[in-house]
Amino acid sequence: MTPLNLPAFWQKRQASLKTALLLFLALRLFLTGWSALAVALVPIPTTPDETVRPYLGADILTEGAAGILLGPWQRFDANRYLRIARQGYAAVEDSVFPPLYPLLIRAASQLLPRTAPTVADMAAGILISNLACLAVFYLLHRQTAARLGANNANRALIYFALFPTAFFLFAPYTESLFIFWVLASLSSAEQGKWARAGIFAALSALTRAAGVLLIIPLAYAAWQTRPRWQPLLWSALPAAAFLAFLAYRHWLGLPPINQVYAQFWHQTTALPGIDLLAALSTILTGQGARAGEITLIFDFLTSFLLLAATIIAFRRYGATIGLYAAAMLLFILLPHSQLKPLYSFTRYALPFFPLFWWAAEASQTPWPRRLILYPSLLLYLYLSGQFFLWGWVG
């Protein structure tokens, strides 16, 4: 790159960072106020109830700054990640979660005052997720701008950040960290930096099991290069990382992961689409644990949106991105639960960044933008409010 190109190069990076930072701060402040308001209007009972409010032995944060800033996020899987950070895989049902995020929580919490361990752990989890969220906003904007232009990048980022389940990016969940590794890996592969691509993909597999399927788009991209053997070796790292996780579980004497899913999470592996039929049956008959849930209808419709986005990804964004979308879609369609079909489906839609590229390109005029943003924002408010009040939304 010549010196004459440097100012434009840095200008584009600064534009992406500024956009990402402004959107991050706006949403972070909004969610802080919205969560405090939701809990104030519908107070959460302070007595433990491990059936409907599973704090899993952690202190319940309701008082002071911790109650305002951390308490509303102390929900569902967040408490599982914190329990793994404290105890490892002492609870068998927790052993389906790969270890990287809890390990980071444990390390970061050691840097904070330990007078209140739950506060330190929650603060560490939210700090990690929020830093990763900011990084995701930046990478998504920069990569979209390079591919589709600045205007499309702005729209794609807004659609992504206001997707109905995107508040999970700010929660002590793995969403933002996983998507960061994915974006970093695919971007590194596109630049021919195969060692980085493989390492980031391995980290994604140690954050969430879906990361193992990055081997598919990376191997395809590696096969297109010359010489190809070293890139192919690097592209195998996510599989090696996930196998290492399974080997570690075996060394601990834990049951096979599929048995844990079946026993504790009521999920088995089936042909892709079987869960869609179970969901449709629940919607039509009103029978089952998810009967009457608005979120089930949303999950069901989202599956077809992701299928369309996967087809579009192949046609518009190339085989590597298409294979990535297809692999992610396959991963979330394989599990089957007659009790709770399409469990957490819409939350798992967040890594489908080609969906937001497509939405950005399809909304060049105001009316399509409104048709995308207004329903999305209403669902964002509803689902996040439900989450803060211990309602299951993903």
220 within domain boundaries: yes
d(CA 211, CA 201): 6
- What is the number of other CB atoms lying within 10 angstroms of the CB of residue 255? 14
Are 32 and 146 in the same domain? yes
- Partners of 126 in the beta sheet? none
Average confidence (pLDDT) over 35-55: 89
What's the one-letter identity of residue 269? Answer: T
Last residue of a domain, one of 191, 224, 253: 253
Secondary structure letter of residue 95 according to DSSP: G
pLDDT of residue 296: 92
Angle 306-164-206 from CA coordinates, rounded to 5°: 65
Tens-digit pLDDT profile for residues 365-378: 999 999 999 999 99
Last residue of a domain, one of 253, 268, 296: 253
Are 26 and 157 in the same domain? yes
281 within domain boundaries: no
86 within domain boundaries: yes
What's the one-letter identity of residue 55? Answer: Y
Tens-digit pLDDT profile for residues 274-303: 999 999 999 998 888 788 888 899 999 999
Are 109 and 156 in the same domain? yes
pLDDT of residue 107: 97
Are 219 and 73 in the same domain? no
CA 338 to chain centre: 24
d(CA 42, CA 82): 25
Look at residue 3 and tell me whether its pLDDT is greater than 60.
no
Are 93 and 198 in the same domain? no
Q: How far is CA 107 from CA 21, 84, 88, 276, in A?
A: 26, 12, 13, 40
* Cα distance between the two ends of the chain: 45
Last residue of a domain, one of 202, 234, 253: 253
Are 41 and 141 in the same domain? yes
Tokens (6 digits) for 161:
């950040």
Are 63 and 188 in the same domain? no
pLDDT of residue 8: 60
Look at residue 334 and tell me whether its pLDDT is greater than 70.
yes
Tens-digit pLDDT profile for residues 183-207: 999 999 999 999 999 999 999 999 9
Are 228 and 88 in the same domain? no
Average confidence (pLDDT) over 227-245: 96
Tokens (6 digits) for 275:
């869960």
- Partners of 49 in the beta sheet? 53
99 within 8 A of 83, measured Cβ to Cβ: no
Tokens 């790159």 belong to 1
Tens-digit pLDDT profile for residues 246-278: 999 999 999 999 999 999 999 999 998 899 999
302 within domain boundaries: no
9 within 8 A of 1, measured Cβ to Cβ: yes
pLDDT of residue 2: 44
Nearest CA to 38 out of 394, 392, 382, 393 is that of 382
282 within domain boundaries: no
384 within domain boundaries: no
d(CA 241, CA 235): 11
Average confidence (pLDDT) over 5-28: 84
Are 85 and 103 in the same domain? yes
Q: Where are the alpha helices (DSSP H) in the chain?
A: 6-41, 64-69, 77-87, 100-109, 117-148, 150-161, 175-190, 194-205, 215-223, 229-235, 237-251, 257-264, 274-285, 294-317, 319-333, 353-362, 366-388
d(CA 243, CA 241): 5
What's the one-letter identity of residue 388? Answer: F
The whole-chain average pLDDT of the chain stands at 94
Which positions ≥6 away from 299 have C-beta within 8 Å?
279, 342, 345, 346
Are 135 and 184 in the same domain? no
265 within domain boundaries: no
pLDDT of residue 181: 98
3-state secondary structure of 49: strand
Are 31 and 180 in the same domain? no
Q: Tell me which residue range forms the domain holding 198.
A: 175-253
Nearest CA to 104 out of 75, 89, 76, 126 is that of 126
224 within 8 A of 210, measured Cβ to Cβ: no
Are 3 and 102 in the same domain? yes
Tens-digit pLDDT profile for residues 237-248: 999 999 999 999
85 within domain boundaries: yes
Look at residue 380 and tell me whether its pLDDT is greater than 50.
yes
How many domains does one find in the chain?
2
